[in-house]
Amino acid sequence: MTAYDSAFSATAASPVFFDDEHQMLRDQVRRFVETEVKPHALQWEDDGMVPRATLRKMGELGFFGIRYPEEYGGSDLDHRATVVWAEELGRSTFSGVAITALVHTDMASIHIWNAGTEEQRKKWIPSCISGESISAVAVSEPGAGSDVKGITTKARREGDEWVLNGSKLYITNGVHADLYCVAAKTDPDARPSQSVSMFVVEKDTPGFSVGRQLDKHGWRSSDTAELNFDEARVPAANMLGAQGRGFYEIMKNFQNERLVIGAMAMGEAQAALELTLDWAKGRNAFGAKLWDKQAIRQRMAMLASRVEACRQMIYATARRAALGEDVVREVSMIKALAGELVNEVMYDCVQFHGGMGFMRESTIERMSRDARVQSIGGGATEVMLEEVAKRM
């Protein structure tokens, strides 16, 4: 049992954050990672995608239905279960695999659930839960990322259809998804916050195409794409929620997304510390183990302390969110803190691995590349700090 496992056992014993159901979920995800992900994911890094068979297996095991009601095939759990799911995927050391699954469960299909009609939910949610359909969310564009109001993709109404024109960029699951939750401006003359609507665009929609698969610095086992909409015709019945409410739906789910990314980042950080601890205790330098060097021990101890503090904030915030509290301030703090902290951890862990930390054959090298985007995607650190500042 690692120090992390011991620490978690103490936390899990308290009913404040988790119960037995959450611990069972953690154990199940961890077993899946060990048996179904780690033995194969280096090949997926080369392939640029997670195989559909693996994603369907995740669906079969119930991982894609954690937050959905039992009548749809889900487990009807809350934010705490989502945090467990994200943290354990982060600990896998393959963050491209993690983000493929997490975008589907907590950043894309969730829009169908939150804003969709009962008919839309029945049409798409069961296949999302089973893994037969994989989803993506398409908001970012060449000229608009965190600034959702700045998107330029447009949709005009023609009879029983909406016609979309524009492009999206940096879309995770963008190459191989079946369903895309797309933000477009339906009323350019309205106030910016009331000009955006959301649509479900299916893979075979006429006028919709994957422009290109993007070649990334990290997250290489996830497929990321540029999407094009050239007179793409979407049934009017595919609009999610009311016209002009897309911005609010996107903002609403950002809180869940950022909590998830924070949990994933702390899973990555913990795994990196464990790897580096093993390395430092086995590596000889100047006649002694690296772990015998006080500077290295103390730096790792401080990083471990900060990771634990951030993790506990994530757990507490997930609990509060599950109780229905407003946690925008705390989630913004988590996204900024976790995104920066995971990169500090990776920097030092690469440093303590020495030359091996710079080699592509080492796990820590891959993890350091994967972590870099955590302070960018889902709300850049600077944007998150402004959100915190507004509430100070």
Give me the active site residues, please.
257
Find the helix packing angle between 79-90 and 95-102, rounded to 10°: 160
- Token look-up 């969709």 returns 116
Q: What is the DSSP string of 231-285?
A: EEEEEGGGEESSTT-HHHHHHHHHHHHHHHHHHHHHHHHHHHHHHHHHHHHH-EE
Give the Cα separation of 24 and 114 in Å (integer): 27
Structure tokens at 79: 């934010």
Contacts of 356 (CB under 8 A, 6+ apart): 279, 362
Structure tokens at 1: 């049992």
User: Which burial class, exposed, middle or buried, applies to 143 when counting CB atoms under 10 A from its CB (0-12, 13-18, 19+)?
Assistant: exposed
Terminal C-alpha separation, the chain = 41
Contacts of 56 (CB under 8 A, 6+ apart): 130, 131, 132
Q: Are 374 and 343 in contact, with CB atoms under 8 Å apart?
A: yes
Query: 3-state SS of 159-220?
Result: CCEEEEEEEEEEEECCCCCCEEEEEEECCCCCCHHHCEEEEEEECCCCCEEEEEECCCCCCC
Q: Are 315 and 292 in contact, with CB atoms under 8 Å apart?
A: no
Q: Which residues of 173-202 are buried (b: 16+ CB within 10 A; e: fewer)?
A: bbbbbbbbbbbbbbeeeeeeebbbbbbbbe
Contacts of 53 (CB under 8 A, 6+ apart): none
